[in-house]
Amino acid sequence: MPYLTQLADVARRTGYPVTEVAGWRSRGHGPQPEVQGIVCHHTAGPAGGGDYPSLAVVRDGRPGLSGPLSQFGLGRSGRIYVIAAGRCWHNAPSTSPRHDNSSSIGIEAENNGTQPWPAAQLDAYRRLCAELCREFGLPASRVKAHREVNTAKPDPHSIDMNAFRAAVAALIAGTTGPTWTEKIVRELPLIRLGDDNNDVKTVRGCLFARGTCPPPPTPACQTGWQGG
Ligand SMILES: [Zn+2]
């Protein structure tokens, strides 16, 4: 398996914002030999310091362990940082042959090891795992906490991994309901260039509510178009 240069596109399918960290396509301890599993981590970084203060450590490593330490970083806001396309040093020794460095992808989520997880970050965590499972043809059971495949590790703290995997499985199966974008595509009437009717006004209202359009003549989105 070569360098996994599709990882940024896979991350974008979550709907969460993606930062491609400069040089990620060729960063790694050689190419990634295979992807049989996904390992979830927390960074044990600082309690404060913004969205992803552990970026430099995950990219460049720390004394005694050279970077990159994982393919992905996950910020407190749910923003996904694509750090490396090759093999990373995120789990050794592994009690599972499908979750060692040569066989799995690592996600380092920003958390100091005790602080509560923001809802958006957890949602992005599950969606990123689901999209990776889809991309590499894996069942949700291949998503493991670091502590489940390395007895010396505590991370990621306080996440019920059985519930986490059940949510990932539902996302893979598409039983969680459509995303906002999918809903819009499905429910919106076809609008043609030059149309000026109530459908156009409603669309303008929704775009304005999302901050992507100037003020519309009608102020509010219709019910049923939000969320998802
Ligand atoms: Zn870890």
Report residue 23 CA to chain centroid gap.
19
Residue pair 167/126 in contact by the 8 Å Cβ criterion: yes
Instruction: Measure 194 CA to ligand 1 centroid, in angstroms.
Output: 54
Residues near 153 by beta carbon (within 8 Å), at least 6 away in sequence:
146, 147
Q: What is the pTM of this model?
A: 0.78
User: What are 160-215's pLDDT values in tens digits?
Assistant: 999 999 999 999 999 766 555 565 566 666 667 777 777 777 767 766 666 665 65
Is residue 216 pLDDT above 60, yes or no? no
7-173: in CATH 3.40.80.10:
yes
Instruction: Measure 149 CA to ligand 1 centroid, in angstroms.
Output: 10
Averaged pLDDT, 46-69: 97
User: Where do the structural domains in the chain lie, given as residue ranges?
Assistant: 7-173, 177-228
User: What are 90-118's pLDDT values in tens digits?
Assistant: 999 999 999 999 999 999 999 999 999 99
Instruction: Measure 38 CA to ligand 1 centroid, in angstroms.
Output: 12
Structure tokens at 86: 């090759």
Which phi and psi angles does 178 have, rounded to 5°? -70, 155
Instruction: Measure 34 CA to ligand 1 centroid, in angstroms.
Output: 19
Instruction: Measure 135 CA to ligand 1 centroid, in angstroms.
Output: 23
Instruction: Measure 57 CA to ligand 1 centroid, in angstroms.
Output: 13
